Each structure stands twice: as structure tokens, then as C-alpha cells.
């Protein structure tokens, strides 16, 4: 057994009696039906080694983790022009807050809060019908993960569409400030569907590998983004990837990460590995309670941190 596999196993073992902690994201009805007593970890190194434990092959709704991939696509389409429409600062507010958006005249604070991701979806939608934009996002994620079985959970997408009133308000509010170029319902269709992509920890860790390897997929050798863009996406993940819990995650874990209310977290150890954890129960900030604890232990035991050993 390798040292990394031993560490992954020890993290899973030491947290196994806490499986089921946290609160399900019951404001999305379909997510309220998920079995809370699940916990998976997968780690893929830049040389392709896979280390996993628990429910690492079980698919779950990645939710806001998908915003990392849509941000990558949007930057590929319009580059730094994106920052005229979306900021790069932590929000300090709830991920679906409308108050800050009003104060800042329809420009979302960063691309990972809901309003920012809706603006990013508007960029991805340019030149496409909504179904084409959704297909482009899914195909991009499949290419990153080298897995054509990855798909949208249409029950989750329908559940979000039927109950996402706050997101509808955010989109229309930005439209009133001319920060959406397409009809709000078209942009929201793209947004709700990319948040409903379902993946396992193994697939998700594989998909994030380009951010651990200076923008290249080290397994295929293909370039996804430039090294400087990979660094900047990682920086945004570190500052903004856990909503108003981002500072605490940086303090405890010290790695770029992006959470989703489906209970998943994608974390990046630059130059070393891409890591995905999943446990559906959330803490008060909407981040996986057990997943956050797992990444803290993993960072401690590997010595991985962007801030040094």
C-alpha cells in the first residue's frame, strides 16, 4: 500500500463514525431525498495514481462545483473581458444574496456566488441555443474526466427549475442592470442544468487535474488553459470557493477548493493532486461538514498547503 493510499484510508477511518453529520440541502427537494449516510474520497495525482476510500464511485449532484468548469469555458471565450461583468473578491454574504448585488449595481462580487455564475452562464450561452450551451458544458466536463458516461441528473435540474425563485430574481435583477445579454429564462436553463451534473468523487478528481498541473491534463498531455490562467482560477477557488466560509476553509485546509450544496468539494494541491470528497450533510455555510473535515485531515497528513508545510 502506498503512503497516499494509507493517508486516504486513515482519513476515512477516523471520520467514519461521523458519517451522516450535517443538514441536507432540503430547499432543493430532490437533494432532500439523498441518503445522508454516505462519504467518499478520491485523490488523483498528477502522474495518474488514484487513491480512494468509501463511496468514491457513487454519483452525486456536483451543484456549484460545476462553476469551476463554466468559469474555465467563459474565460476561454472572452478572456479578461469577463471581469468587466463579474468581480474577483470574496462576498462575505450568503451565496444567493441579492442585497450585495443591488449595492454593486448588478455586478456580482465573484464567479462562484450564484449571481456570478449566472453571469458566467450568460457568457457561455453566447452564440448558442440553451441546449447547445448545456451540451458544450457537459462535453467539456466529459473530456476533462475522460469519461463519456457523465450526464445531467434531470430530476435535480427539474427540481431546481421549479423552486429556484431566488435565482430567478438574481437573473432578472442583473438583466435590469444590463449585465445579462440573453433572456433570463434561457440563462437560468443553462445554469440549473450545469449545476445538476452528476459525478463521482473519482470522476470529479480526474476532471480537476488540469488545475493541479499548470493548466494541462497530465494524463493526455493536452493543454486546457495556460499556466497563468490555472493559477488565477485556483486563486479564485481559494478566496471564494466556499462562499462566506472561504476564509475558514483557507485557514484550516490551505488549498484551493470549490464546494457544492450536493455535499461535494473539489480541492487542488498544485503540482501534486486533485482531490474530491463527498458527504451530503452541510454545515451552516452550505459546505459539506464531513468533506471539510476530511480535507483538513488530508492536508495535515500530507503536508500539502499553498502556504507551506
Catalytic residue among 8, 68, 210, 243: 243
Helix, strand and coil content of the chain, in percent to the nearest 5, comes to 50, 10, 35
Question: Is 67 in the active site?
Answer: yes
Pairwise CA distance, residues 102 & 186, whole Å: 22
- How many residues are there in the chain? 309
Pairwise CA distance, residues 79 & 94, whole Å: 27
Question: Is 84 in the active site?
Answer: no
Question: Is 91 in the active site?
Answer: no
Q: At residue 213, what are phi and psi to the nearest 5 degrees?
A: -130, 45
Question: Is 251 in the active site?
Answer: no
Catalytic residue among 59, 191, 210, 213: 191
Beta bridge partners of 40: 54, 278
Catalytic residue among 64, 97, 200, 288: 64
Question: Is 243 in the active site?
Answer: yes
Q: At residue 9, what are phi and psi to the nearest 5 degrees?
A: -60, -40
Instruction: Name which of 274, 290, 258 is nearest 217 in CA terms.
Output: 274
Residue holding cell 458519517? 19
Q: Which residues contact 287 (CB under 8 A, 6 or more apart)?
A: 242, 243, 245, 249, 259, 265
Catalytic residue among 8, 34, 52, 67: 67
Catalytic residue among 261, 277, 279, 288: 261
Active-site residue set: 64, 67, 191, 243, 261
Amino acid at each position: 500500500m502506498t503512503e497516499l493510499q494509507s493517508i486516504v484510508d486513515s482519513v476515512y477511518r477516523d471520520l467514519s463514525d461521523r458519517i451522516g453529520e450535517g443538514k441536507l440541502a432540503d430547499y432543493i427537494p430532490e437533494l432532500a431525498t439523498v441518503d445522508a449516510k454516505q462519504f467518499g474520497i478520491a485523490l488523483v495525482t498528477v502522474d495518474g495514481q488514484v487513491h480512494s476510500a468509501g463511496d468514491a464511485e457513487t454519483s452525486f449532484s456536483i451543484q456549484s462545483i460545476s462553476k469551476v468548469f463554466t468559469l474555465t469555458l467563459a474565460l476561454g471565450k472572452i478572456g479578461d473581458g469577463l471581469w468587466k461583468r463579474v468581480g474577483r473578491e470574496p462576498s462575505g454574504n450568503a451565496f444567493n444574496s441579492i442585497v450585495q448585488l443591488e449595492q454593486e449595481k448588478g455586478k456580482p462580487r465573484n464567479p462562484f456566488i450564484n449571481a456570478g455564475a449566472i453571469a458566467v452562464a450568460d457568457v457561455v450561452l453566447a452564440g448558442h441555443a440553451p441546449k447547445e450551451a448545456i451540451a458544450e458544458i457537459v462535453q467539456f466536463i466529459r473530456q476533462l474526466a475522460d469519461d463519456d458516461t457523465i450526464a445531467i441528473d434531470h430530476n435535480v435540474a427539474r427540481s431546481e427549475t421549479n423552486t429556484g425563485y431566488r435565482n430567478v430574481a438574481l437573473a432578472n435583477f442583473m438583466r435590469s442592470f444590463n449585465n445579462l445579454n440573453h433572456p433570463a429564462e434561457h440563462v437560468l436553463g443553462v445554469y440549473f442544468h450545469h449545476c445538476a451534473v452528476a459525478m463521482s468523487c473519482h470522476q470529479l478528481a480526474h476532471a480537476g487535474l488540469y488545475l493541479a498541473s499548470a493548466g494541462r491534463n497530465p494524463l493526455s498531455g493536452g493543454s486546457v488553459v495556460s499556466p497563468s490562467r490555472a493559477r488565477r482560477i485556483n486563486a479564485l477557488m481559494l478566496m471564494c470557493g466556499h462562499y462566506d466560509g472561504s476564509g475558514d476553509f483557507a485557514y484550516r485546509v490551505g488549498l484551493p477548493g470549490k464546494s457544492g450544496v450536493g455535499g461535494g468539494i473539489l480541492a487542488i494541491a498544485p503540482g501534486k493532486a486533485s482531490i474530491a470528497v463527498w458527504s451530503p450533510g452541510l454545515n451552516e455555510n452550505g459546505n459539506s461538514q464531513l468533506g471539510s473535515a476530511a480535507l483538513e485531515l488530508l492536508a495535515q497528513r500530507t503536508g500539502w498547503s499553498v502556504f507551506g508545510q
